[in-house]
Amino acid sequence: MRMAGRFSRRVQAYARRKQIPILKCRKGDRKHEIAHKYLPKDPNYKGVFLILYGKAQAPIWNAKSRNSMHPHLDKELSFVQHYYFHIMDPEWGHLTIRVCGHPPFQALVILNGHEWVERAARKAGIVFEKEGNCFVEFSDGAGLTQLADTLGAELSTGRLAQVCDRWIYSSCLCFGLCPQEQERSGFRYEYSVHQAEYSRTLLFHYGRDLVEVFQGLIDRSRRALDIKVLKTLFGRKRRLYLHPRGKKRPRMELSIETPEYDLTVLKIHFGVFSLKIYDKGGRALRAEATLHNAKALHTRYSLPYLPTILARLRDILNHFLNVLFCLDVQFLDSGMLDALATPSALGKRRLAGIDLNKPRMRNCMDAIIALSPKPEGFSVSEFTAKVREMTGSPPEKYSVRQGGYDLKKVRSKLILEPIPKTRRYTIVYDRLRAVAAILTIREKLLKPIAAGVCKPRRGRRPANPGTLDAHYEVLRRDLLTLLSQLGIAA
């Protein structure tokens, strides 16, 4: 406790002497947004420019004794004071180091790789335009991509360790242990990865094409992926119709923080992973894969293994984009349509076919499509839980045994494949496209058309009819004429 009090007094005295703002934060405050208001105006500024503090949970060592003869140390979680040092680094830009005021002075370093790429591109003479963390315009795309790829290389871990060592001992730990105490005690930090993010930006020539592609993607995949909530921030401009690069070159280091265009976010959570895709800027579509807790991976997560973690995030993001592509651009395989309902075999066991006219099998296919972006695949129990969630069925109506039998039927049609050395399954992309097309035709074509033909008399026309409404109306009229020619009463 005395060391924690000394840490606090030294921080307060240092902030007064250097005239650095020091603010207390409450629960729920967005500390990074607060720090943006205090960013130094001088582009050559180097060092601490803001200190925030607030209480957070951390493991604390307390000296206790069951009796006076046997004292011992107990480790317990407690809410104690943490200090957030906001630092401006010449290579990494704005970085944050959170340090616990109690021994052993646990620290968390927050870095943004986009700011390193921004400063490296400035040195390389690349002209770019940036909106938040997204590069929306640039003069040399290949050079910018090469700079971004260096962060995922094995040599980047040394660069990360250097920037952490440069600030954590001289600007953070020094308030708890002076340099002489650090040297005498041999106190050193070992760095590991806690959270990581991998992103990819797709640029369109025309903003109008971006809106058409992304909104169509949301319309076709939202129901299939069981996404109940979408977030939209409305901008103040319409997206550019013509290619802007021919008229206006991007300014060096232009950064836009407020959204000028509509921003729609499609986000899915799978345990410690989050997958997100959203439109950014005038013609940029951005996809992200985020790892929230590296400990949950049950693999090595120390700093030298950062390239391995980033490579895994890249594979997860590629899998997510492939699934979205399969749901957006579907392929109707007539041979598979005929083969689904026929009996099949898995090993030596004969299995019934997949009849999509039955609600149970349709629910199974919907659950498989909803679980298809899952980074580590899905198990029988997760599949069964998803079917229950989407249908509202109790456990006695759809058991794990029934789910396992249904998955065997799906596997026999080569729609799923097992992940080696696990009891989990992943989707086969070509088969996913065909199954999605069959379900879309049934739900979006046959059912609406049949309902419209059976009820030829319609009510009031919609005030704002869409493109699909016009197509449905034309099909309904033509189908009524065809049925009358065939002598079929609707």
The answer to whether residue 395 sits within a structural domain is yes
Tell whether 344 and 277 lie within a shared domain. no
Tell whether 361 and 321 lie within a shared domain. no
Question: What is the longest distance spanned by two Cα atoms in the chain?
Answer: 102
pLDDT, averaged in runs of 10, over the chain (490 residues): 87 92 88 89 90 88 69 81 93 92 90 88 85 79 84 78 91 88 89 91 84 83 78 58 47 45 81 87 85 86 89 91 85 75 86 87 90 90 92 89 91 90 90 85 75 64 71 76 71
Task: Output phi, psi for 85, to 5 deg.
Answer: -95, 115
**Residue 240 confidence (pLDDT):** 53
Tell whether 209 and 313 lie within a shared domain. yes
The answer to whether residue 41 sits within a structural domain is yes
Buried b (16+ CB within 10 A) or exposed e, 186-213: eeebebebeebbbbebebbebbeebbee
**Residue 292 confidence (pLDDT):** 92
Tell whether 206 and 224 lie within a shared domain. yes
**Residue 452 confidence (pLDDT):** 65
Tell whether 433 and 308 lie within a shared domain. no
The answer to whether residue 142 sits within a structural domain is no
**Prediction pTM value:** 0.82
Tell whether 307 and 177 lie within a shared domain. no
The answer to whether residue 298 sits within a structural domain is yes
Tell whether 396 and 479 lie within a shared domain. no
**Residue 284 confidence (pLDDT):** 83
Tell whether 76 and 215 lie within a shared domain. no
The answer to whether residue 373 sits within a structural domain is yes
Which residue in 457, 461, 413 sits closest to 438, CA to CA?
A: 413
- The model's pLDDT over 101-160, given as tens digits with 9 standing for 90+, comes to 888 889 999 988 888 888 888 888 888 888 777 887 788 888 888 888 887 777 678 888
The answer to whether residue 267 sits within a structural domain is yes
Among 145, 164, 185, residue at a domain's last position: 185
The answer to whether residue 392 sits within a structural domain is yes
Tell whether 316 and 207 lie within a shared domain. yes
Tell whether 74 and 25 lie within a shared domain. yes
| Single-letter residue type at 280 | K
**Residue 192 confidence (pLDDT):** 92
**Residue 490 confidence (pLDDT):** 57
The answer to whether residue 461 sits within a structural domain is yes
* Phi-psi group of 316: left, alpha or beta (phi > 0 → left; psi -120 to 50 → alpha; rest → beta): alpha
Task: Output phi, psi for 339, to 5 deg.
Answer: -85, -20
Strand partners, 278: 265, 286
**Residue 405 confidence (pLDDT):** 92
**Residue 245 confidence (pLDDT):** 47
**Residue 266 confidence (pLDDT):** 85
**Residue 87 confidence (pLDDT):** 93
Instruction: Give the N- to C-terminal CA distance of the chain in Å, as an integer.
Output: 83
**Residue 459 confidence (pLDDT):** 64
Tell whether 360 and 420 lie within a shared domain. yes
- Tell me which residue range forms the domain holding 172: 2-110+154-185
What's the domain count of the chain? 4
Tell whether 6 and 45 lie within a shared domain. yes
